Structure 1
């Protein structure tokens, strides 16, 4: 076996490789990202056996065509006897190449698996192997998340009369993000607060949402009839569809069902723009948010397991 940076032709060949359990991105999705320049040969590594067949791939992803920010595809060919060895070798060489280019590694990776992945032995084994091998190269944290989806034709709840939504500047949103972080069920927020303060974390999160494809003018804070700010609703987008970016009820207003109003605003906002599909993600442990998605007509379509340092 050898690991190498692929040519454009070899990258396309790797896109069609049959994976061990049919998890992750489809060949069509990978080809779409290659065509858009978000997956590039120089950010990629492939494993090739003695017959010249592609048996593994590690493809890093970048939004701006300039530098990768995540490991998007990391797989071994179906039925390979040394999957763990191939997976580790792909990351080790990939990290060495990227580090030489000044990229801070390891970059995070998200495994996309079926909702009931624990019930499928092959998928469960793959998840376990990847968690172990990723931890060996610095991606020691993992977090399970639920991917939800709303599709055109699903009923949209009328906006709640008990809240009004209005725009605000970045400083206001930074302040509100910091307040919302306290008592959050979001796993990454809780981890970050163990090493940084809420205001610094809020600045980073506002910067992140500003970098997303969604329009900054979509962002809203929500006030009740007395004028008190009760939460934040940030409609956003991915490169391929509309997205529920950020929903948060401030600590002093939790427990009154406002999450339904905030999510309802975002759903109606995107639906009014003709969105055919709205995606959303929440941590598996955040059962109140998952329940809110279900009440709003979203279906859980996938589980995602984030591997991070």
Structure 2
């Protein structure tokens, strides 16, 4: 699934093409894309409106249109937004025709991508408030203290915590693996059990890998493509992700694959020590003196 760096790469490429132009025509070829709205309802809301700005929130592309109308595009697993591709490009779901004659085509083999509508800034804020947490690349947003506060009391694995979009927006499987490795944190560590220095390190490495991913134009493993059809390059910089059986670039130990929170996860268990299992303490028998594990009465003095 495209993550924050892939979506931000698309945004930066598409924004100069669409900003300042009007959406002259919106052809929704797959009605599933905009459910529960019909294609006609979405078209009536969007057509003939000027694109003021193409933004991003988490993994969403946000088309800010004149009149406080917002079209929210999510690429999901296999979606790509292409600028001026051939008219017969496969898996087309939506086609934008701009006032200058330019075209964009949303292609999606798996048909999981979505287009949703928010009318008014309050509706936009409410939409994201229900779905997304802090924006990790916003200045001062993702800090060790912020991570520690969100994770307090959480026993879920730290990797599953990072993938929860309601906490941190935009981090997915690839970048969670890479950030945890750089921070030296095992993905199975309970989220609320890290030390302060580990939260600080993880906040830093999450930001670093996202910025590195953007610098490389995202990662292409299967379907992701730039707006011009070119592949991303961050996959060539992976330290652990999809490198099971290879040597860790840091220590040479073998990288292993495991499942954490239902997701394939890659880790060097030398650089990222596995958390120790705590031995369960047996309940004290009724009537036993405090500190006596035998259940016998405490001796009289």
* Coarse TM-score class (shorter-chain normalised): under 0.3
Structure-2-length-normalised TM-score: 0.25
- Report which structure shows greater RCO (CA 8 Å, sep ≥6): 1
Flag the structure with higher helix content: 1
Flag the structure with higher strand content: 1
Bigger-Rg structure (1/2): 2
